[in-house]
Amino acid sequence: MNRDERLLLIDELIEGTILAPDRLRIEAELIIDPQVRQEYYRRLQLDMLLRSEASRGAAPENTSGGTVAGAAANSFRPVHWVSAALLAVAAMLLLVLAIEFDGDRSETVAGGDTQRHLAMGQEEPSASGFAVVDGQADAIWEEAAFANGDLLPGGELHLRSGRARIEFFSGVEMVLEGESRFSIDSSMQVTLFRGRARTRVPEPAQGFRVKTSSGDVIDLGTEFSVAVDEQGSDVYVVDGEVELHPTDSDALRIDAGQARRLDRSGGVTEVSALDESVLGPHEFQNWLRQQRDQRHVQWQAATEQLRGDQRTLAYYQFHRESRQSRRIENLATGAADRATDGTIVATTPATDRWGRSDSALDFSRVGSRVRVRIPGEHRGLTLMCWVKINSLDRWYNSLFLTDGHDEREPHWQIMDDGRIFFSVKVPSRQRDADGKAEQPIFYSPSIWDASLSGRWIMLAVTYDVDRAEVTHYLNGQPISSEPIAPQALVESIQIGTASICNWSEPKYQTDPRFVLRNLNGSMDEMSVMSGALSANEIIHWYQLGSSDER
Alpha carbons within 13 A on the beta-carbon side of 55: 16
Same domain for 222 and 370, yes or no, is no
SS3 (DSSP) at 281: helix
Q: Which of 279, 305, 331 is the last residue of a domain?
A: 279
**Is residue 137, in this structure, part of any structural domain at all?**
yes
**Is residue 495, in this structure, part of any structural domain at all?**
yes
Same domain for 274 and 299, yes or no, is no
- C-alpha dist (Å) from residue 137 to 133, 178, 279, 450: 11, 10, 12, 24
Largest CA distance in the chain: 91
* Per-residue model confidence as pLDDT tens digits over 478-528: 999 999 999 999 999 999 999 999 988 766 656 565 667 889 999 999 999
Same domain for 269 and 316, yes or no, is no
pLDDT at 5: 77
Same domain for 423 and 365, yes or no, is yes
**Domains held by the chain: number:** 3
- Based on its alpha-carbon atoms, the radius of gyration of the chain, rounded to whole angstroms, reads 28
**Is residue 126, in this structure, part of any structural domain at all?**
no
Are residues 203 and 183 in contact, defined by beta-carbon separation less than 8 angstroms?
Answer: no
**Is residue 116, in this structure, part of any structural domain at all?**
no
Give the distance from CA 51 to its chain's centroid. Answer: 35
Q: Which of 261, 279, 297 is the last residue of a domain?
A: 279
Q: What is the CATH number of the domain that holds 173?
A: 2.60.120.1440
Are residues 393 and 366 in contact, defined by beta-carbon separation less than 8 angstroms?
Answer: no
Structural domain range at position 229: 131-279
Q: What is the CATH number of the domain that holds 406?
A: 2.60.120.200
Separation of alpha carbons 87 and 79, rounded Å: 12
pLDDT at 63: 36
Same domain for 186 and 68, yes or no, is no
- C-alpha dist (Å) from residue 44 to 41, 47, 96: 5, 5, 19
pLDDT at 24: 66
- In the DSSP assignment, the letter for residue 486 is G
Are residues 392 and 448 in contact, defined by beta-carbon separation less than 8 angstroms?
Answer: yes
Same domain for 268 and 372, yes or no, is no
> In the chain, which stretches have pLDDT less than 70?
1, 20-21, 24, 28, 31-32, 34, 45, 48-128, 273-277, 320-324, 431-438, 506-515, 549-550
Q: 373, 360, 387, 385: which is closest to 313 by C-alpha?
A: 373
Same domain for 234 and 296, yes or no, is no
Separation of alpha carbons 287 and 300, rounded Å: 20
pLDDT at 507: 61
- Please spell the DSSP secondary structure of 334-361, one letter per residue: S-TTPPPPEEEES-EEE--TTS-TTSEE
pTM for this one?
0.72
Same domain for 370 and 468, yes or no, is yes
- Four-residue CA torsion sign, 417, 528, 410, 513: positive
Beta strands in 187-249 (DSSP E): 189-200, 209-212, 215-219, 223-228, 232-239, 241-246
**Is residue 333, in this structure, part of any structural domain at all?**
yes
**Is residue 509, in this structure, part of any structural domain at all?**
yes
**Is residue 118, in this structure, part of any structural domain at all?**
no
SS3 (DSSP) at 108: coil
Same domain for 227 and 303, yes or no, is no
Same domain for 48 and 153, yes or no, is no
Q: Which of 227, 250, 279 is the last residue of a domain?
A: 279
Separation of alpha carbons 282 and 290, rounded Å: 12
Same domain for 158 and 253, yes or no, is yes
- Please spell the DSSP secondary structure of 34-82, one letter per residue: HHHHHHHHHHHHHHHHHHHHHHHHHGGG--SHHHHHHHHHHHHHHHHHH
Same domain for 472 and 524, yes or no, is yes
**Is residue 105, in this structure, part of any structural domain at all?**
no
Q: Are β-strands 477-483 and 360-362 bridged in parallel, bridged antiparallel, or unpaired?
A: unpaired
